[in-house]
Amino acid sequence: MLAGSGGNMSIRLDRDRVLITRSGVAKGRLTPDDIILVDPDGRHVRGDGEPSTEMLMHLFVYRERPDVMACVHSHPPYATAFAVAGIPLEADILPEVVVYVGDIPLTKYASPGTNAVPESLAPYVKDHNAFLLANHGLLTVGKTLEQALNRHETVEQLARILAQARQLGAVNRIPRTDIDRLSAIRRDHD
């Protein structure tokens, strides 16, 4: 999901420190030297190089969501294809998406690496754990890096299954009564 040097990840250590991947490095071959320590305002604290160009997006999420401790952003092929096509991913297709991720809003287009990205997240950030970034990719958040990564994989799996189901001609939705039950499970575990 993290092709080449695309994408970025971060972990909030505490209210004063955030670890974020260095700009321009392949995430599949990260070393400790590829992690930059910044403060909540994005000031460089420790590490060589520049933090990810999407640092503003990560810091915005942390400011708006005290419960979030990790963010993962990448350009996974199927989810990004939906984002490029302007087609939302419906959560009510797979039970695991309802339980572990919830609804996945499609944000308006925002120029990467600018304040426009956090602005595009603003209407959704408080109530969602995954975001399709129009013409850009996917952002998932969690209480841990593992949870954010699992959500990332779950959304990409949904996108892959949904694309294939559309080719077959039918997309059947989970009945509303079960959506309510599954959503209650998510609320109990969040």
- Mind telling me the catalytic residues? 54
Query: Vertex 76, ends 37 and 180: CA angle to 5°?
Result: 95
Nearest of 87, 100, 80 to residue 141 by alpha carbon: 100
Cβ-based neighbours of 98, under 8 Å, separated by 6 or more: 91, 92, 174, 179, 182, 183, 186
Q: Where are the alpha helices (DSSP H) in 65-144?
A: 77-85, 95-100, 116-121
Cβ-based neighbours of 72, under 8 Å, separated by 6 or more: 7, 9, 139, 140, 141, 145, 148, 149, 151, 152
49, 23 contact by CB (below 8 A): yes
- Name the 3-class secondary structure at 68: coil
